[in-house]
Amino acid sequence: MKNMRQDNDNKKMRVGLVGSGYMGKAHAIAYRNAMAAFAIPQNLLQCDMLADATPELAQSKALELGFSRSTGDWKSLINDPDIDVVDICAPNFLHKEIALAAISAGKSVYSEKPLALNASDAKEMTEAAERAGVKTLVGFNYVKNPTMQFAKQLIARGDIGDVVHFRGVFNEDYLADANLPFSWRLQKQFAGTGALNDLASHLVQLATHLVAPITSLCADLKVVHQHRPLAQNSDDSNTGVGEVENDDQAHMMVRFANGAQGTLEASRIAWGRKKWFVI
């Protein structure tokens, strides 16, 4: 960001946001407040266009989140010559198609994690971005936390000796109540895996960043709450149940390239203490 300031104080980065649910809102708030935390020019980040599943939803969210324009078709956002950065906060199954289209259009791409539904799709996306030479970022936000950057410095300086073990826990309770309704997150075709993709992906990225690449592992995944109610009708009558297709809990024993061992644990149904890490 500092370099950009030095390069050109008048430069604008016009952001096109695709998906304005939980994380889209978080990104929009961050764009508005980035100036308070980073040394960037006043009007560098412009919240320009917002795309969502329908024109009506996109329009109301654009008003709410401070975007100038909206569309119910993400392709028109990507084809708009004024958009510099495509920020993908849509459900997981859309990341690949949107990112590949944005890369072809020469845009910078900021995609939420998990990058794709599987490793081969993620590799295809990475290679396309490398070939096109566009700037990319995946939403692994925890690695940017100052405590994690400090941990990285301590390790690099040798202050804590050789790292021989990493233990990471990423527990959440957003589906701990078994009566919470069915959603796209619980279906393989839309989300891929469950807690593994959604939460353990952050742990894998952090462990890789702090320790070394993971070279081998064994893992155990489990669906605990196998059925959840579908969305209710307006008269509160239930419309049935949906079958949960992906893991509520994911446990891994891993080995790192430097010989260290590790255990990683993620859950989306855990009451009590949330995320923590030990090295």
Ligand X SMILES: NC(=O)c1ccc[n+]([C@@H]2O[C@H](COP(=O)([O-])OP(=O)(O)OC[C@H]3O[C@@H](n4cnc5c(N)ncnc54)[C@H](O)[C@@H]3O)[C@@H](O)[C@H]2O)c1
Residue 156 CB, shortest distance to ligand X, in Å, is 25
Q: What are the tokens at 204? A: 């894998």
Q: Does 23 bind ligand X (CB under 6 A)?
A: yes
Instruction: Compute φ and ψ for 212, nearest 5 degrees.
Output: 180, 170
Report how far apart, in Å, the C-alpha atoms of 144 and of each of 4, 152, 206, 209, 242 are: 19, 11, 10, 11, 37
Position with the least CB separation from ligand X: 21
- Does 242 participate in binding ligand X (rule CB under 6 A)? no
- Shortest separation between residue 260's beta carbon and ligand X, angstroms: 25
Q: Which of 15, 16, 17, 19 binds ligand X (CB under 6 A)?
A: 19
The DSSP secondary structure of 31-74, one letter per residue, reads HHHHHHHS---TTSEEEEEEE-SSHHHHHHHHHHHT-SEEES-H
Selected range binding ligand X among 90-98, 149-157, 242-250, 262-270, rule: CB under 6 A:
90-98
The reply on whether position 247 binds ligand X by CB under 6 A is: no
Q: What type of residue sits at position 21? A: G
How far from the centroid of its chain's Cα atoms is residue 180's Cα?
22
Alpha helices in 45-171 (DSSP H): 55-65, 74-78, 92-104, 119-132, 146-157
Determine the interface stretch with ligand X among 49-57, 101-109, 251-259, 260-268 (rule: CB under 6 A): 49-57
* Of positions 13, 53, 100, 155, contacts ligand X by CB under 6 A: 53
Supply the Cα-derived Rg of the chain in whole angstroms: 20
Round to whole Å and give the CA distance between 22 and 112. Answer: 12
Binding to ligand X (CB under 6 A): which residues in 146-205? 198
Q: Which is nearer to ligand X, 110 or 256 (CB)?
A: 110
Q: How many residues bind ligand X (CB under 6 A)?
A: 22
Q: Which stretch binds ligand X (CB under 6 A): 22-30, 168-176, 229-237, 251-259?
A: 22-30
Residue 242, C-beta contacts closer than 8 angstroms, at least 6 positions apart: 182, 186, 187, 227, 228, 229, 230
CB-wise, 260 or 270, nearer to ligand X? 270
Cβ-Cβ contacts under 8 Å for 109 (sequence gap 6 or more) = 85, 86, 88, 99, 102, 103, 129, 134, 135, 136, 137
**Segment contacting ligand X (CB under 6 A): 13-21, 237-245, 259-267, 270-278?**
13-21
Residues between 126 and 145 that touch ligand X (CB under 6 A): 139, 141
Among 15, 16, 17, 18, binds ligand X (CB under 6 A): 18
DSSP state of 176: -
Q: In the complex, what is the shortest distance from the CB of residue 236 to ligand X, in angstroms, rounded to a whole number? A: 22
Q: Choose which of 113, 228, 251, 268 interacts with ligand X (CB under 6 A).
A: 113
Q: Which listed range, 45-53, 143-151, 152-160, 257-265, lies at the site for ligand X (CB under 6 A)? A: 45-53
Given the rule CB under 6 A, which residues bind ligand X? 18-24, 51-53, 57, 74, 89-92, 94, 112-113, 139, 141, 198
